[in-house]
Amino acid sequence: MVSFKCKDIGMDCPFEAPAANVQELDNKIVKHAHDAHKIESLDKDMWMKIRKVEK
Ligand SMILES: [Zn+2]
């Protein structure tokens, strides 16, 4: 299992996502970023931050 917390990348957001693997987690993060933060696509810097806090 892996998980991601939006607040770990500095967002003021209670979103937490558990997933079976990183690929599934990435999909959830992309969807959340779009739905909750209106981010159309995550850039390289954003992914670097996300990679550091995914665990
Ligand atoms: Zn969020």
Cα 23 to ligand 1 centroid, rounded to whole Å:
18
Question: What's the pTM value of the predicted model, to 2 decimals?
Answer: 0.93
Residue 39 lies in domain: 2-53
Number of folded domains in the chain?
1
Residue 2 β-bridge partners: 19
Q: What is the pLDDT of residues 1-55, one digit of tens each?
A: 999 999 999 999 999 999 999 999 999 999 999 999 999 999 999 999 999 999 9
**Which structure tokens are listed for 25?**
């987690």
Instruction: Give the C-alpha separation, 40 to 8, whole Å.
Output: 20
Cα 38 to ligand 1 centroid, rounded to whole Å:
10
With beta carbons less than 8 A apart as the criterion, state whether 9 and 50 touch.
Answer: yes
With beta carbons less than 8 A apart as the criterion, state whether 8 and 20 touch.
Answer: no
Cα distance from N-terminal residue to C-terminal residue, the chain: 8
Cα 35 to ligand 1 centroid, rounded to whole Å:
9
Query: Which strand (E) or helix (H) includes residue 32?
Result: helix 22-37
